Amino acid sequence: MNVLLEKFTFTPELTEIINNSPSVIVPDSKETLYELIFGNEHTDKIEVLYDVNGKPVKEATVVRCKNGAVVNYMEDYMRRRDPDCMRVADEEPTDKPRFEDVYGYDFGALRVETFRWLARQELIIVPFKAGGYDYGYDSILVCPRNAAFFAFALSQLQAFVNAKEVDHFKPRSVIYVAPPFRHTHFAGKQVVVHSRHPDLHEIFAYNLYPGPSAKKGIYSVLLDIGEQEGWVTAHASAARIITPYENEMVMMHEGASGGGKSELLQDVQRAADGRVLLGTNIETGEKTYISMSDTCTIEPVTDDMAICQPGFQSKSGKLALFDGEDGWFIRVDGITEYGSDPLYERISIHTKEPLMFFNIEGVPRATCLLWEHTLDSDGTPCPNPRVIIPRRTIQHIVNKPVEVDVRSFGVRMPPATEEHPSYGIMGLMHIIPPALAWMWRLVAPRGFNNPSISGSAKLASEGVGSYWPFATGKRVRQANLLLEQILRCKNTRYVLIPNQHIGVYQIGFSAEWISREYLARRGGVNMKMDRLVPARCPLLGYALKEMKVDGQQISSRYLRPERQDTLGVEGYDKGAEILYHFFAKELEVYDVEELHPVGKEILKCFRENGTIEDYCAIIPLGLE
């Protein structure tokens, strides 16, 4: 351990933990770390237990399958991220709940107690690069040995570092994992405490679901660094799309959790006869199909965390990004049977290295199958089954920064009819000016029937850029960074894409796949203004007058939902009113003195019920 301390610059607190721990393991490979999950006995199933006030509490079971380790939590609540789990325990500027304000005491005492508990445990320490090997930041995970599955998951999500191969390593961030405190201090709730210092971001993870800490906690670190340096880590997937005629387009898809980011990287899903199901009328059962012969080749770039540093931009005037992760935390609730997603099914079944699975049934020494979801306590499949897919296992993966032609924003839409109006009035694809693109990112609706998080709000906001749940600083700072980014990248275009429903039609993610194919064949948002018509609701920008994909016309009922008989103008307008009320409520918090002058102009336009032309006058759409 003395050799380790010579290579690493640790804080005095971490050094003391290491010196007092009965055992400290720093694995030199991910293979070694994987074997630590099942202990020296190399058993096929373990129970993750902790002493809580003298009684053993089982947090999870871990099963060794042929293709990796399968984790299942005892509580339904622990199988998904709690959106209200972040607490800030420092004096830096923040709009997030401060620990002392929520719990009534200073975090300092609990911090010391956490360190004392860790010093009594057998520990695993995992060095990694937050944000990737090439552009990432030195970081450390400290967790109990019996939570080795958590350490392995982190090593799959971020860039694992072999301690033997480093000369000097000074962590810019550190994650401390202390599961029992969830029970002893937080009434069983997921809590992740962030403590920011000028050159160190500490994360205290008081739960064993990696979503809020190993995944989004590192996202918080990158957002914090970007806030200091003037750049953003967007909540986005991205891909280079290559048409059958070898034309290329880079598309970036943003949105709240469940907004379709992973789906951008999926092939178009087809029915048994090869046709593509566009939508199903939920009242009549009538299905709309289109036929597509050749579809585009997808070269994935990012799945969830896109680092957008200005230094990677060329003179093209387009946004540049690269992936902030080494592995992707893929939600597979849409994989319900063999053949639902051939790409991830093939990778997970035929992997050459062990993977990590969550909330999926695991049978010792059998193959874990992505469509066998764990049942929640009410007998229904868990809506948040996950697998971590290493980037290097994905065919055609892009490993360098790319410049974005089109930024799309996805929103989960409920069904909408005149009898039951809702905000589900978005057409299959809308072209929007940059000012509206910025506003949509400020409000970032979580939307209908979100499977990724706990909570049941019908229409809630995830805030700036849809990554606000993971940011530790000030809303207005992030809003300004997003607007400055948009103003700087004048040649990247913006669209809105719904998923789940268009009016009365249930669509799943078909609008996203069809829009991707349509835009790629056109070279992006490359069209004349005479092909567009102002949407009836100005917040939706422009609708397409017509859309033809692979020689087939898309019905105007999908492009302009007010033309649906069951919705009509009256039902549409009621839905627009819901949207306006939602925007007004969510935008109010950004209307502060520190807001960028152009941002103030955009919010004024909204308050005065501006037209689409008014928004375009603030920042031009860029089309002729």
Radius of gyration, alpha carbons of the chain: 24
Taking 70 as the threshold, does the pLDDT of residue 473 lie above it?
yes
Residue 269 has phi, psi (to 5 degrees) of: -85, 140
| pLDDT recorded at residue 310 | 87
- What helix, strand, coil percent values describe the chain, rounded to 5? 30, 25, 40
The predicted-structure confidence for 322-358, as pLDDT tens digits, reads as follows: 999 999 999 998 899 998 888 899 999 999 999 999 9
pLDDT over 90 for what percent of the chain?
Answer: 85
Q: How many Å apart are CA 157 and CA 211, to the nearest integer? A: 11
Q: How many Å apart are CA 32 and CA 39, to the nearest integer? A: 11
**Cβ-contact 523, 492 below 8 angstroms:** no
Taking 90 as the threshold, does the pLDDT of residue 594 lie above it?
yes
Confidence bin at 453 (pLDDT 50/70/90): low
Residue 476 CA to its chain's centroid (Å): 21
The predicted-structure confidence for 574-587, as pLDDT tens digits, reads as follows: 999 999 999 999 99
The predicted-structure confidence for 192-248, as pLDDT tens digits, reads as follows: 999 999 899 999 999 999 999 999 999 999 999 999 999 999 999 999 999 988 899
| pLDDT recorded at residue 455 | 46
| pLDDT recorded at residue 456 | 44
According to the CATH classification, is domain 233-319+404-618 in 3.40.50.2000? no
Residue 312 has phi, psi (to 5 degrees) of: -95, -5
When pLDDT is averaged across residues 12-41 and rounded to a whole number, the result is 92
| pLDDT recorded at residue 4 | 64
| pLDDT recorded at residue 488 | 95
Taking 70 as the threshold, does the pLDDT of residue 450 lie above it?
no
| pLDDT recorded at residue 272 | 86
Q: Where are the domains of the chain?
A: 2-36+83-229, 233-319+404-618
Confidence bin at 624 (pLDDT 50/70/90): confident
pLDDT over 70 for what percent of the chain?
Answer: 97
Taking 50 as the threshold, does the pLDDT of residue 80 lie above it?
yes
Domain covering 2-36+83-229 in this structure, CATH number:
3.40.449.10
Give the DSSP letter of residue 153: H
Kindly report the pTM of this predicted structure. 0.93
Residue 197 CA to its chain's centroid (Å): 25
Give the Å distances, CA to CA, from 550 to 263, 276, 408: 21, 12, 21
3-class state of residue 101 by DSSP: helix
The predicted-structure confidence for 93-131, as pLDDT tens digits, reads as follows: 999 999 999 999 999 999 999 999 999 999 999 999 999
When pLDDT is averaged across residues 18-24 and rounded to a whole number, the result is 94
Q: How many Å apart are CA 208 and CA 216, to the nearest integer? A: 13
Taking 60 as the threshold, does the pLDDT of residue 452 lie above it?
no
Residue recorded with tokens 């809308």: 430
Of the candidates 442, 475, 85, 393, the residue with the CA atom closest to the CA atom of residue 254: 442
The b-or-e profile of 277-292 (16+ CB within 10 A means b, else e) is bbbbbeeeeeebebeb
| pLDDT recorded at residue 74 | 97
- Assigned token pair, 248: 């290329």
**Cβ-contact 39, 149 below 8 angstroms:** no
**Considering the chain, what is the average pLDDT of its residues?**
94
| pLDDT recorded at residue 40 | 67
| pLDDT recorded at residue 7 | 86
**Cβ-contact 541, 431 below 8 angstroms:** yes
The predicted-structure confidence for 279-330, as pLDDT tens digits, reads as follows: 999 999 999 999 988 899 999 999 999 999 988 888 889 999 999 999 999 9
The predicted-structure confidence for 368-399, as pLDDT tens digits, reads as follows: 999 999 999 999 999 999 999 999 999 999 99
| pLDDT recorded at residue 245 | 85
Q: What is the largest CA-CA distance in the chain?
A: 75
Q: How many Å apart are CA 50 and CA 48, to the nearest integer? A: 7
The predicted-structure confidence for 596-614, as pLDDT tens digits, reads as follows: 999 999 999 999 999 999 9
- Domains 2-36+83-229 and 233-319+404-618 are alike in CATH topology: no
Of the candidates 333, 345, 438, 314, the residue with the CA atom closest to the CA atom of residue 385: 333
What is the bridge-based pairing of β-strands 505-508 and 276-281? antiparallel
Q: How many Å apart are CA 102 and CA 267, to the nearest integer? A: 45
Could you write out the DSSP letters of every residue in 55-82? Answer: EEEEEEEEEEETTEEEEEESSGGGGSB-
Residue 532 has phi, psi (to 5 degrees) of: -115, 155
Taking 60 as the threshold, does the pLDDT of residue 2 lie above it?
no
Taking 70 as the threshold, does the pLDDT of residue 422 lie above it?
yes
The predicted-structure confidence for 358-371, as pLDDT tens digits, reads as follows: 999 999 999 999 99
